């Protein structure tokens, strides 16, 4: 049977806002059935209202058992799994002078450990469906970010996991790629605990630095996730695609 986008079952973490919501809606619009995951039920509900193909599950990916629970929920509902999008993540403004073990652990648990445990739990299903994993990194997964070094390091780790898993799973026909967005409209800066005035200043500074002259919109990122996960991208694996209005070129 030739697999099409419309047959697929997709897990999207962090689907209650920003890039994750756009990814969930874009997959649903392509005909896929989507399980959107996050901590805030109300936010997920807003996402689910955008398309009937989106089901939701509240889970805190800091919890060790959450990954298996998420994968089991998708499989119980649809008896298959084709795509895992590891989108949930957080940023942290953390200059070295203010760095603490607890904050490093919290950041890495969400940005590195949770995607790893989700991929681990999804693997038997992805092997069966010859499915695919897309990890959401950042421009700063391969560029330095003074003042937020551990965010950059966590995304660098995710990119290296992407390449290593791509090789490890190639024989199973499971493709693994990453998307590295540049500054994109979302709740990320507010979620990092920054006051509104600082958020606005950061956004203005970023827009000025980006060659295309503005921050990205979540839809502009989501569309490339669909391309990376598309069954027609049969020979693409282990790649990190940067979508950032040209920021990486500077
Ligand atoms: N926006 C950008 O400029 C940008 C640039 C490069 C990369 N990225 C990456 O893009 C991804 C999406 O971020 P975004 O910008 O769309 O930010 P966002 O709006 O803050 O979205 C992050 C999502 O992750 C979920 N999440 C956070 N902690 C979680 C946890 N412990 N368990 C389950 N879900 C959790 C949040 O939902 P709950 O709070 O309800 O759990 C939220 O929906 C992240 O990996 C981020 O690092 C963003």
Q: Where are the domains of the chain?
A: 5-182+220-243
**How remote is the CA of residue 184 from the centroid of ligand 1, in Å?**
11
Cβ atoms within 10 Å of 21's Cβ, excluding its own: 28
CATH of 5-182+220-243, one of 3.65.10.10, 3.40.50.720, 3.40.50.300, 3.30.420.300: 3.40.50.720
Please give the Cα distance from 66 to 52 (Å, whole number): 24
Give one DSSP letter per residue of 177-224, joined into a string: EEEEE-SBSSSHHHHTT--HHHHHHHHHHHHHHSTTSSPBPHHHHHHH
pLDDT per residue, tens digit, the chain (250 aa), is 445 566 899 999 999 999 999 999 999 999 999 999 999 999 999 999 999 999 999 999 999 999 999 999 999 999 999 999 999 999 999 999 999 999 999 999 999 999 999 999 999 999 999 999 999 999 999 999 999 999 999 999 999 999 999 999 999 999 999 999 999 999 889 988 999 999 999 999 999 999 999 999 999 999 999 999 999 999 999 999 999 999 999 9
Q: Is there a contact between 48 and 55 (Cβ–Cβ < 8 Å)?
A: yes
**How remote is the CA of residue 1 from the centroid of ligand 1, in Å?**
35
The closest of 141, 162, 159 to 151, measured between CA atoms, is 141
Catalytic residues: 151
The closest of 75, 68, 84 to 15, measured between CA atoms, is 84
Ligand 1 and 47: CB distance under 6 A: no
Length of the chain counted residue by residue = 250
Ligand 1 and 60: CB distance under 6 A: yes
The helix (run of H) or strand (run of E) holding residue 58 is strand 54-58
Ligand 1 and 118: CB distance under 6 A: no
Number of alpha carbons in the 13 Å side-chain half-sphere of residue 124: 6
Ligand 1 and 92: CB distance under 6 A: no
- pLDDT at residue 4, rounded to an integer: 59
Please give the Cα distance from 44 to 21 (Å, whole number): 8
**How remote is the CA of residue 87 from the centroid of ligand 1, in Å?**
7
- pLDDT at residue 1, rounded to an integer: 40
Q: Is the pTM of this model over 0.95?
A: yes
Q: Is there a contact between 87 and 14 (Cβ–Cβ < 8 Å)?
A: yes
* Ligand 1 atom with minimal separation from the 90 CA: 47
């Amino acid at each position: 049977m030739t697999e099409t986008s419309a047959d697929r079952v997709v897990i999207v973490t962090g689907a209650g806002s920003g890039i994750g919501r756009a990814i969930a809606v874009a997959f649903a619009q392509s005909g896929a059935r989507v399980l959107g995951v996050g901590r805030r039920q109300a936010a997920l509900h807003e996402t689910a209202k955008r398309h009937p193909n989106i089901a939701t599950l509240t889970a805190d990916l800091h919890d060790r058992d959450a990954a298996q629970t998420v994968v089991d929920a998708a499989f119980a509902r649809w008896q298959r799994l084709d795509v895992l999008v590891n989108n949930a993540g957080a940023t942290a403004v953390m200059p070295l002078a203010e760095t603490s073990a607890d904050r490093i652990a919290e950041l890495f648990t969400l940005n590195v450990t949770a995607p790893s445990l989700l991929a681990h739990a999804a693997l038997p299903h992805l092997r069966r469906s010859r499915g695919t994993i897309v990890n959401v990194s950042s421009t700063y997964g391969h560029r330095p970010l003074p003042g937020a070094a551990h965010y950059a390091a966590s995304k660098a780790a995710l990119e290296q996991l992407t390449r290593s898993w791509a090789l490890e799973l190639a024989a199973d026909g499971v493709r693994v790629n990453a998307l590295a967005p540049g500054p994109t409209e979302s709740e990320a800066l507010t979620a990092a605990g920054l006051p509104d005035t600082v958020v606005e200043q950061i956004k203005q500074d970023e827009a000025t630095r980006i060659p295309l002259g503005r921050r990205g919109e979540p839809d502009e990122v989501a569309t490339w996730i669909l391309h990376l996960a598309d069954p027609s991208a049969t020979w693409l694996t282990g790649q990190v695609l940067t979508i950032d209005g040209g920021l990486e070129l500077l």
